[in-house]
Amino acid sequence: MKYSKEEVLQYIREEDVKFIRLIFCDIFGRQKNISIMPGELERAFSCGIAFDASAITGFGDEAHSDLFLHPEPDTLSILPWRPEHGQVVRIFCHITYADGTPFPCDTRSLLKEAAAAAEKAGVFFDFGPEMEFYLFRLDDDGQPTRIPYDNASYMDMAPEDKCENIRREICLTLERMGISPESSHHEEGPGQNEIDFRYSDPLTAADNTMTFQTVVKTIAQRNGLYADFSPKPMKHYPGNGFHINLSARTEAKGDALPQMMAGIMKHIADMTVFLNPTAASYERLGTQKAPGYITWSCQNRSQLIRVPASPEEHRRAELRSPDPSTNPYLAFALLIYSGLEGITHGLELPPPVEENLFTASAQVLRQYAPLPQSRREAAVTAANSTFLADHLPADLLRAYLDAVTKEQF
């Protein structure tokens, strides 16, 4: 449900809400929050809640430390795992300077701007995230181990699949928060899982992605487990992917999937450091269904982009290179800008590649451009990108690449 400011204030009064979590994230998508009491919410709506930005990655230093959080009422949601009496809710926020000027490193606002630019051009994007994660046991001190919760494999059933009840609890919690899961199943790795939820507009999809990670980690912990979203938790098993299903339609011509894909493929190397920001990201790429080359195909899961078999009204492209360490706001914004370029300039999609690139010979692979092979290579590519310079604030780009180069992330 989309609430107005007045409805939120009424809800807080009538539903015995005692704490409001104001949610935002740093430039790498790591979630942060401040809890306020109900009596402070009116002030939060009118002038924002101040916080020390110098301690947030990429937000500045001690000389420029004051920023303000402004809650967006239409993102209100209860946290179902908190007490029913004295409820806790969360609200996503946008960030400004003290004078109300938008803060350029607020990645959620950057995604808003990207979606607005696309709509102004008559192009409308939808995103459907698919995120994988492992469930590991905890040791006697409650610390994560690398012992998987089960030894099941792809789409196994209980009793081999011990994760089934955890996924069920996650899905029911998501439903209570207004997010609609479509499917869930055991993935290939031991203790590895995937839950997919319904496609939506870019901002809602990114917010849902952030909420999803919080719910999964919380439900796992409540069951004495640790949820690991890192790109390559175990060396000899599949990594965690963040497959992004996306589609584009135009007011004039309808489906614009081929041109959108062409734009993404043109700029994918420039974007890779944002889609795969950690050193472990590059241990995943090119192995066990994670792509290593800039190619596409229908249904072929060894490619960067595949077009799944589906009815025409659900036609979409699945980008398979990102992993869950990405900031979804930044990722979706860059995919919109690259896809929009492909559509507005009528870029031509190259021919599909039908070979299995995981088993192809070196001679075959030499025909195709590879994705960056390391985080450093990806950072250098991004630093030299006019595409990124045109679409990202200079302060954000500088802070992000500086942190990546110095391995501070």
Let me know whether 367 and 224 are in one domain: yes
Q: Decide: 152 and 282 in contact? Cβ < 8 Å.
A: no
Whether 281 shows a pLDDT value over 60: the answer reads yes
Q: Indicate the length of the chain as a whole number.
A: 409
What is the pairing mode between strands 242-250 and 254-255?
antiparallel
Whether 353 shows a pLDDT value over 70: the answer reads yes
Task: Give the range of the structural domain holding residue 9, as residue numbers without chain letter.
Answer: 5-103
Residue 114: how many CB atoms within 10 A of its CB? 24
Whether 232 shows a pLDDT value over 60: the answer reads yes
Non-local CB neighbours of 401 within 8 Å, separated by 6+ positions: 273, 379, 382, 383
Under DSSP, the state recorded for 113 is H
Three-state DSSP class for residue 272: helix
Average pLDDT over residues 77-85: 90
Q: What is the pTM of this model?
A: 0.96
Q: Residue 238 has what pLDDT? A: 95
**Distance, CA of 189 to CA of 230 (rounded, Å):** 13
Choosing from 63, 79, 103, the residue where a domain stops is: 103
Q: Which residue has the higher pLDDT, 300 or 206?
A: 206
Whole-number average pLDDT of the chain: 94
Let me know whether 212 and 171 are in one domain: yes
Whether 1 shows a pLDDT value over 70: the answer reads no
Q: Find the Cα–Cα–Cα–Cα dihedral 179, 181, 186, 191, rounded to 10°.
A: 10
Let me know whether 77 and 162 are in one domain: no
Q: Residue 61 has what pLDDT? A: 61
Q: In degrees rounded to 5, what are phi and psi of residue 317?
A: -110, 140
Let me know whether 34 and 120 are in one domain: no
Whether 72 shows a pLDDT value over 90: the answer reads yes
Question: For residue 53, what are the CA distances in angstroms to 57, 70, 96, 201, 403?
Answer: 8, 14, 11, 29, 16
Q: Is residue 275 part of a domain?
A: yes
Average pLDDT over residues 314-325: 94
- Report the CATH number at residue 53: 3.10.20.70
Let me know whether 150 and 257 are in one domain: yes
Region class of 111: left (phi > 0), else alpha (psi between -120 and 50), else beta = alpha
Q: Is residue 193 part of a domain?
A: yes
Binning the chain into helix, strand and coil, the percentages to the nearest 5 are 35, 25, 40
Per residue in 148-200, pLDDT (tens digit) is: 999 999 999 999 999 999 999 999 999 999 999 999 999 999 999 999 988 99
**Distance, CA of 32 to CA of 51 (rounded, Å):** 11
Domain count, the chain: 2
Q: Residue 63 has what pLDDT? A: 45
Let me know whether 58 and 179 are in one domain: no
